[in-house]
Amino acid sequence: MFSRDVLRIDAPAVAQEIEQAIRDQVFGTLRRRGAVVGLSGGIDSSVVSTLCVRALGKDKVLGLFMPERDTSDDALRLGKLLAEQLGIEAVIENIKPALTGLRCYERQDEAIRMVYPDYNESWKFKITLPSILESDRLNVSQLTAQPPGEEPRVKRMPLNAYLQLVAATNFKQRIRKMMEYYHADRLNYAAAGTPNLLEYDQGFFVKQGDGAADFKPIAHLYKTQVYALAEYIGVPADIRGRAPTTDTFSMPQGQDEFYFALPYDKMDLCLYAYNNKVPAAEAASAVGIKPEQVERVFKDIEAKRRVAQYLHAQPLLVRDQGHA
């Protein structure tokens, strides 16, 4: 009988396995002296940071805070809370000037005005997708924008506006990764990646941005399992209680609004069922939705995996010199 129990883990054993892998990979395979981790105040970066400290020692882990114009206050507060608990060195690198110089915000504004010509910088905004539970949704994103003192407005985005807004926003993840590698190169450290299995499998990352890393210690764990591991290794309750967010746009935005078909706990179960060929009718009860809705999620998983192939792909060569 399919149930939520399929995602249960032996947290001490999982932590021990990952910590040994981090030691072997950082000190052995990569021949680096420690690890750099970008701290977002979220569950994934907090778990990775804590595992790195347990594996390598607090004196061999550097945390980076990289706020910009749209970063929430919670991100820095919770990131500092974790760094203080771990006793690691942490550096604040404000990336807003770099993003301004690259015209990130200006390019975002241009894209938004393709949808809302009267938009100005006082408005808040985010990208959302229509619910997959109501019907087979079209892959047409919606732009939610809110002028000061008014109700949010929602409009479908034309493709050119969507592509430009996402392309401009991707500067944020790419600048952060550049900063991580600056410090990694300076210290001869390795850059840690923080995606969980749901994000890694479904392509919820920016190519050469947060998708770039020297090692990714939790990419085999469902998000539900990351939370279980977080409790075992002592990640602060304030971080464990924070809802997953993109922390990318000026309006608060859940990951399920922007990318995933469902909240992470239900999405994990659907992905597990899909991976293990559990029929939709059997999975539906555990997920808490109808079988036909599970089928829609399965189709969405397939579609996102096709997108993820490009994101995971290595550069194409005319000849593979290693097999010439």
Query: Would strands 89-92 and 61-65 be described as parallel, antiparallel, or unpaired?
Result: parallel
- pLDDT score, position 96: 98
Query: DSSP characters for 245-313?
Result: B---SSS--BHHHHT-SS-HHHHHHHHHHHHTT--HHHHHHHHTS-HHHHHHHHHHHHHHHHHHHHHHP
Q: Higher-confidence residue: 260 or 113?
A: 113
Q: What is the pLDDT of residues 221-239, one digit of tens each?
A: 999 999 999 999 999 999 9
Single out the residue of 292, 300, 256 nearest to residue 134, CA to CA.
292
| Structure-token match 């706020």, residue found | 67
3-state helix, strand, coil in the chain (%, to 5): 50, 10, 40
| Structure-token match 């293990």, residue found | 276
- pLDDT score, position 47: 98
Once rounded to an integer, what is the mean pLDDT over residues 57-81? 95
Taking the C-alpha atoms of residue 22 and residue 17, their distance in angstroms, rounded to an integer, is 9
| Mean pLDDT score across all residues of the chain | 94
Taking the C-alpha atoms of residue 164 and residue 133, their distance in angstroms, rounded to an integer, is 28
- pLDDT score, position 136: 59
Taking the C-alpha atoms of residue 70 and residue 246, their distance in angstroms, rounded to an integer, is 11
Taking the C-alpha atoms of residue 228 and residue 4, their distance in angstroms, rounded to an integer, is 13
Burial 92-128 (b: 16+ CB within 10 A, else e): ebebbebbeebebbebbbebbebbbeebeeebebbbb
Q: Angle 223-233/264-275 helices, nearest 10 degrees?
A: 120
Q: Is the pLDDT of residue 134 over 80?
A: no
Pair of tokens at residue 92: 């604040």
Percent of the chain whose predicted confidence (pLDDT) is above 90? 86
Taking the C-alpha atoms of residue 286 and residue 304, their distance in angstroms, rounded to an integer, is 23
- pLDDT score, position 135: 62
| Structure-token match 């935005």, residue found | 253
Query: Would strands 61-65 and 35-38 be described as parallel, antiparallel, or unpaired?
Result: parallel
Query: Would strands 142-146 and 124-128 be described as parallel, antiparallel, or unpaired?
Result: antiparallel
- pLDDT score, position 262: 87
- pLDDT score, position 254: 73
Integer-rounded Cα Rg, in Å, for the chain is 20
- pLDDT score, position 130: 80
- pLDDT score, position 243: 82
User: HSE-up of 162 (CA within 13 Å, CB side)?
Assistant: 14
Pair of tokens at residue 259: 């990318």
Q: Is the pLDDT of residue 253 over 80?
A: no
Q: How confident is the model at residue 323 (pLDDT cuts 50, 70, 90)?
A: low
Taking the C-alpha atoms of residue 44 and residue 19, their distance in angstroms, rounded to an integer, is 15
